[in-house]
Chain A
């Protein structure tokens, strides 16, 4: 990443023009169209959000509503907003947009009504955007009020402002969870974290109608950019951890297992234990962990045998403990896990190691955590490097799936004939149309898959939902398991019908199931669905993205014939009366369809 974390908000504000100039020149930026609908001044929000997104590899194009016009734009969008065709909408509202707090004379019923009115207001905005623009929305929740006429009672009395805000946020979260297209952006937490006195600047409110201080805007933009990166699959996927003085206090090679500081014996031990707990919590919600340590491997592994150790060696998807350079090891880790270096976050207490890795691997994120263990968790936490719009069942199983893959790989080396290996896996697949429970994982795959991706079309949850319910679309997902375990949902194929042709808009597959033959099974299922709809032809598209050269010949392998080819695409056709030409595979299809 270009930006170093922690950042200096004042410096970013002051030098934003030059920084924008430099960072926009980076290669490979993902362009996204973001409409900012504001309940207060949004110009500086757009400026800082642009910088923070560029730092994460996203080049935004913005539409900003006229001052304060978020409601009218939601209910009756300006033609310019419709034409802008946003990929997503950010609703920049905050406490300044609460139209009425409870009055001291209000009864409990009147306070309930007021709460419902505020919620109905947001629901109307969300429904308007959904109907008129049909895209994902990020909605700020409400921060604490900056003044409390009831004093301390504002936190507990039924008429209190703090209490009102807490209840409103609770309901906003519940309402958002019932929909697929609203993500709540927690500025309530952010304002508390940086401090309400730093967050709200009365002078900037009265003069410029900035809902929060300019420096608070930088923090908001940073966190928001993290959330947006998560939606488009650009969050961190793996946390690579040093061992000595990072995951435990002391040096295992010198101090031995009895001498390292982990557990509850001392302040240092406790601090390291908490970092281990934090890493474990990340792992449990889908972030991969890896070790990168300068140690003999046996010593490194021994550290996790300490009785107070919270992490264990098998919590890590990759374990690189040797005397080679860390940059070399990190490249090996990326290769082993089959992820790109820009998905890695590296944590090391040693500034020299951090500098070396950052210099040799500029796409790896290396937060400056300093050297004091008591700072590590908060620095990592505030950096918002692992944001995700939702947690799918696949996220919760990810670490286990990587471990099972490792077992598959070691078993494969025992077979001389690959087909025998495939047969031995006893693979089973469930191939079915998009369904409700899979929509989030499907969306995630369209955004995260780079290599086995024919069209690299990134979709929001709202778009996937539309495809799922459109009778003029054929949609398929593939879930693959074998004797080692369940790989989860790993392939997405979808297209739209025009006349008697199915145009394939999405064909992607997770790298963890390469060379198993799943693509042949997907093609068979696709042909069955297309034939059932009376179609004659499948038309496939390959758009070279710089990252997907591995599939430039996929349609040829699947038995399609080349229709046309130029620098920007190749187009292929498959006649549906040709089904017998699909290559054989060793996957048993488990959902009633003959394999």
Chain B
């Protein structure tokens, strides 16, 4: 699975959860940069990612990422195992 494919999937999930047809995600974006990405929608985003890929983030992993780039990097790592 390429990083581009993961990016596309994660973007779809962000678009669904935040109800925005036009949102474009980039590695450098944090919650402060994206309208509607609050603690509640964050839980839905993470949950939808876990469900889609059949993966589970540990407590430590969930704490560790700061921006979308980190999130995608973590997904990449888990999928390559």
Contacts and interface: CB of A to CB of B under 8 A. Distances in A.
Is this pair of chains taken from one and the same complex? yes
Interface of A: 10, 13-18, 21, 43-44, 203-204, 206-208, 214
B45 to A, nearest CB: 9
A214 B59 contact: no
A208 B51 contact: no
13 contacts: A10-B51, A14-B44, A16-B44, A17-B16, A17-B18, A18-B19, A44-B40, A44-B44, A203-B56, A206-B59, A207-B62, A214-B43, A214-B47
B17 A14 contact: yes
B13 interface: yes
Contacts of B13: 14
Contact of B16 (A15, A44, A206, A208): A15
A17 B19 contact: yes
Contact of A43 (B40, B47, B48, B59): B40
A13 B47 contact: yes
The range of chain B's interface size is 10 to 19
A14 B19 CA distance: 9
Contact of A13 (B48, B59, B62): B48
B48 A14 contact: yes
Contacts of B62: 207
Contact of A10 (B19, B40, B48, B56): B48
Interface of B: 13, 16-19, 40, 43-44, 47-48, 51, 56, 59, 62
A43 B17 CA distance: 15
Nearest to B63: A207
A13 B19 contact: no
Given A21-B19, A206-B59, A207-B62, A13 B40 contact: no
B46 to A, nearest CB: 10
A516 to B, nearest CB: 53
Nearest to B57: A203
Contacts of A10: 48, 51
Given A14-B17, A18-B19, 12 more contacts: A10-B48, A13-B47, A14-B16, A15-B16, A15-B17, A15-B19, A16-B44, A17-B17, A44-B44, A204-B43, A207-B62, A214-B44
Contacts of A43: 40
A18 B47 contact: no
A270 B43 CA distance: 45
Contacts of A14: 13, 16-17, 44, 48
A386 B56 CA distance: 38
Contacts of B19: 15, 17-18, 21
